[in-house]
Structure 1
Amino acid sequence: MNDYAQLLPIARAAMSTAREIVLSRGSFSVAAKGDRDMVTDVDLAVEDAVRGLLGKETPEIPVVGEERGGRAAGGLWWTLDPVDGTANFARGIPLCAVSLALVDGSRSVLAAISAPFLDVEYSAVDGHGAWAGEQRLRCSEVTDIADAVISLGDFALEEHESDRNRVRLGLLRDLGARAQRVRMIGTSAIDLAWVAHGKLDGTINLSNHPWDTMAGVLLVREAGGVVLDEDGTGHSADSAVTIALSPGVRDEIMATLRRNS
């Protein structure tokens, strides 16, 4: 199967279902799932509902989700983050999103991201552009780091990630001294969507969970941006990190990462 666009209505239906669940929950429960990590019953309800819809519409395509797991065995697979930015959501901060991608092997080929509290839905199909509703997206044309707004992914919570956090601190210091602004938004899906939308000029996420990144990665590529691994090679589901950039700041940001790695 390579006519990925025929699956876009299914992905959009999944986002509509997810959005309704997120917006309809006036109250919810929060449980710990790790050190300073959490899950809400909304995360679980969204994942179960979207899995049910995808299982009915595309039973031959496995689903890998943040909360319920799953395994890709090559070929096509869906990857889902039911609420990306759970910590924001749990505090009533509207920066959270549902992120769904169709991956072919290790490369995303279809994407749908819904930011329910921002009332925007993003979508992309490989070779057909990136969109916010009916608006076609283009990455920014910023070329000077002094004009750039760059976001960083969250600090890692696990003790064995101390080296990664050292890199994050170096990036904050380095970019903070030279970029127009540095932001930590708390959701990879919105970080990446906003690079595609031209609201950010780049985002550096020093991890690469496919449910967090694969949808947004396709949005950035289809909007004319570049998405790289830490060594500067092209990003895939197997990459160590996710660095999404407008082309004009690519060299400067990658040099900054090398200085602090």
Structure 2
Amino acid sequence: MHQLDHLTDVARSAVRLGNELIKNTRPHTVTEKSDRDTFTEVDVRIEHEVRAFLAEATPEIDFVGEEEGRSDASTDSPYVWGLDPIDGTANFVHGVPLCGVSLALLQGDRTVIGVISLPYLDLHYSAVLGGGAFVNGKRLEASKTAELSKSIVAIGDYALGEDAADKNRQRIALTAELAAQVERVRMFGSAAHDLAWLAEGRIDGAVVMSNKTLDLAAGILIAREAGVLVKDSSGAEHTRASTHTIAAAPGIANQLLSLVRSIK
């Protein structure tokens, strides 16, 4: 645990680099990766700076980033850092203050450290496997909501690119069913916000009809350490191999999972 505590401090310092760049930099170049999916020179700069910082601080640990992939280093460490430099890039480009930096330390199929910073809101989250989750030093706890009709549920963005129409038929059906049963549906456009705010009890559930490790790994650990249940749509425990991400406060988890599973 002592080593993980040290690595958590390293992760917080790394994420602070991205936090400051997001707060103090506006994007000038927006590049399209695929259909309506973009990145900016700020995403790339954050990834470069965090990669360089971690290479110096933890040279024994490999690194993979969302924009430029895995580092060339070959190490014997069981760990690898995984970074999403700006989660919510579309929000960042348009000046919507819902975006963040998400960094996870992965050990095989497990996430052992998760750190998320939401720069415009000055909210800084972290969790160590088995050690609880915290925001700005305060321990996190999932909401106590026990009725779906009194819950706020966040949903992930609609699909883009190839097969988007087919994928979105399911997402739109899910939105309609949630709208009929929950208090409010929200789409923040950032999985980091969805999962961190779920851990904090600001919302009660989150449904992401995909599973991208770099987007989700840190947030899933933070949520779980706050008492959130995270499942696949099959009802099995969520893993990196899961197809969907269903996360909820314990009091509504079964109700939300049943709703998601009813969507064809």
Question: What TM-score range do you get, normalising by the shorter chain?
Answer: over 0.9
Q: Report sequence identity in percent.
A: 43
Q: Could you say what the CA RMSD is over the residues aligned between the two structures, in angstroms?
A: 1.7
Provide the residue aligned with 1:135 in structure 2. 138
Is the CA contact (8 Å cut-off) linking 2:27 and 2:42 kept in structure 1?
A: no
Quick check: 1:105 aligned with 2:108?
A: yes
Q: How far apart, in 2, do the equivalents of 1:234 and 1:31 lie?
A: 36
TM-score, scaled relative to structure 1: 0.95
Provide the residue aligned with 1:249 in structure 2. 252
Is the CA contact (8 Å cut-off) linking 1:5 and 1:110 kept in structure 2?
A: no
1:164 aligned partner, one-letter code: K
Quick check: 1:55 aligned with 2:55?
A: yes
User: What's the CA shift string for 1:63-90, capped at 9, x where partnerless?
Assistant: 1211011289993111110000000000
Q: How far apart, in 2, do the equivalents of 1:42 and 1:227 lie?
A: 31
Q: How far apart, in 2, do the equivalents of 1:81 and 1:34 lie?
A: 17
Quick check: 1:86 aligned with 2:89?
A: yes
Q: How far apart, in 2, do the equivalents of 1:87 and 1:226 lie?
A: 28
DSSP-derived class of the 1:51 partner: helix
Please list, as runs of the form range in 1=range in 2, the aligned pairs for 1:139-154 lying within 5 A after superposition.
139-154=142-157
User: What's the CA shift string for 1:74-123, capped at 9, x where partnerless?
Assistant: 93111110000000000000000000001111111101100000111000
Q: How far apart, in 1, do the equivalents of 2:176 and 2:138 lie?
A: 35
Provide the residue aligned with 2:8 in structure 1. 8
| Residue among 188, 205, 208 paired with 1:205 | 208
Provide the residue aligned with 1:122 in structure 2. 125
Q: Call closer, same or farther: CA 1:107–1:162 in 2, change over 3 Å.
A: farther
Q: How far apart, in 2, do the equivalents of 1:240 and 1:14 lie?
A: 29
User: What's the CA shift string for 1:188-228, capped at 9, x where partnerless?
Assistant: 01100010000110100111111100000001110011111
Q: How far apart, in 1, do the equivalents of 2:209 and 2:262 lie?
A: 15
Provide the residue aligned with 2:195 in structure 1. 192
Please list, as runs of the form range in 1=range in 2, the aligned pairs for 1:31-46 lying within 5 A after superposition.
31-46=31-46
Deviates more, 1:203-212 or 1:58-67: 58-67
Is the CA contact (8 Å cut-off) linking 2:27 and 2:40 kept in structure 1?
A: no
CA drift at 1:167: 1.6
How many residue pairs get aligned? The number is 261
Q: Call closer, same or farther: CA 1:157–1:2 in 2, change over 3 Å.
A: farther
Please list every run of 5 or more consecutive structure 1 residues that lacks an aligned counterpart in the other structure.
Answer: none
Q: How far apart, in 2, do the equivalents of 1:7 and 1:76 lie?
A: 11
Q: Call closer, same or farther: CA 1:209–1:27 in 2, change over 3 Å.
A: closer
| Residue among 222, 229, 232 paired with 2:232 | 229
Q: How far apart, in 1, do the equivalents of 2:180 and 2:121 lie?
A: 30
2:219 aligned partner, one-letter code: G
Dislocated runs of 4+, deviation >4 Å: 71-74
Please list every run of 5 or more consecutive structure 2 residues that lacks an aligned counterpart in the other structure.
Answer: none
Quick check: 1:239 aligned with 2:247?
A: no
1:106 aligned partner, one-letter code: D
Q: Call closer, same or farther: CA 1:26–1:86 in 2, change over 3 Å.
A: closer
User: What's the CA shift string for 1:142-182, capped at 9, x where partnerless?
Assistant: 01011000011001102324333122111111110110000
| Residue among 160, 169, 172 paired with 2:172 | 169
DSSP-derived class of the 2:163 partner: helix
